[in-house]
Amino acid sequence: MHIPDGFLDAKTWIATTVIGAGAVSYSLRKSRLSLEPNKIPMVALIGAFVFAAQMINFPIAGATSGHFLGGAMTSILFGPWIGTIVMAAVLLVQAIVFQDGGITVLGANILCTGFIGSFTGYGIYMLGIRMFKGRGRAILTFIASWISIVAAASGVAALLALSGTFELATAMKAMVGWHMLIGIGEGVITMLVTGYLMERSTILARGGQTAYEGVPNNRA
């Protein structure tokens, strides 16, 4: 759901550019404090994976197609600040190199699919993990990433309505309707990847390095 140039009016794209830039610079500051050097290759690889997976549009109901976004996945793996950074980087490369998603609306795209997607997915995932004490992680991941897509689609719909492109209720119904289906793909991919790449941490079970490594991951 990359917004192209021309869909948002001037006030909306200027406002979202400013807010988007703020969100990215704040995320950069937050990431700087929480990022361990040994995570660098992992973040780079996951960013590349998100890009590759976003290329694969899967057909839906013979009428449309959807693709993976990855905000929820990246945030569950690395926390929502790094998640936002990775998504912003993906959108930047797509807009500059591949003309996918507009330049004026880069801020809007970063806010919707990056920031909203990352924080919604992560928030719901963490809430669920706390509530169910770590049980049912796969299904939680599916639900959290499904909701993250619906939330991102609602964000896009709200911006379209704000631009006067079309009315809010119609925009919501149309965007959320299709993305409820597209979100299923998001849920499945996020569930598979995080299931494969995450493991139980043995916090404080052994001393030294393990305990240290457990701390930021427990939080993130």
Q: Among residue numbers 80 through 109, which ones bind other proteins (CB under 8 A)?
A: 82, 85-86, 89-90, 92-100, 102-104
Pull the structure tokens for residue 199: 């493991």
Place of tokens 């500059």: 96
* Residue 23 touching other proteins (CB under 8 A): no
For other proteins, the binding residue among 23, 53, 72, 110 (CB under 8 A) is: 53
Q: How far is the CB of 115 from other proteins (least distance, A)?
A: 17
**Range list of β-strands (E), 73-129:** none
Q: Report the SS3 class of residue 79.
A: coil
Place of tokens 């793996």: 77
For other proteins, the binding residue among 12, 16, 50, 116 (CB under 8 A) is: 50
Q: How far is the CB of 90 from other proteins (least distance, A)?
A: 6
Q: How far is the CB of 179 from other proteins (least distance, A)?
A: 5
Cα dihedral 71, 75, 77, 82 sign: positive
* Residue 36 touching other proteins (CB under 8 A): yes
* Residue 214 touching other proteins (CB under 8 A): yes
Q: With left for phi above 0 and alpha for psi between -120 and 50, is residue 54 left, alpha or beta?
A: alpha
* Residue 57 touching other proteins (CB under 8 A): yes
Pull the structure tokens for residue 84: 């936002």
Is residue 115 within 8 Å of 152, Cβ to Cβ? no
> Which uninterrupted H or E stretch holds 66?
strand 64-66
Q: What x/- string results for residues 161 through 200 when contact with other proteins is judged by CB under 8 A?
A: ----xx---xx--xx--xx--x----------x--xxxxx
Is residue 80 within 8 Å of 114, Cβ to Cβ? no
* Residue 208 touching other proteins (CB under 8 A): no
For other proteins, the binding residue among 44, 138, 139, 168 (CB under 8 A) is: 44
Q: How far is the CB of 169 from other proteins (least distance, A)?
A: 12
For other proteins, the binding residue among 23, 72, 73, 77 (CB under 8 A) is: 77
Question: Cβ of 166: how many Cβ atoms within 10 Å?
Answer: 12
Place of tokens 């794209």: 13
Q: What x/- string results for residues 125 through 144 when contact with other proteins is judged by CB under 8 A?
A: ----xx--xxx-x-------
Is residue 204 within 8 Å of 166, Cβ to Cβ? no
Q: How far is the CB of 65 from other proteins (least distance, A)?
A: 4
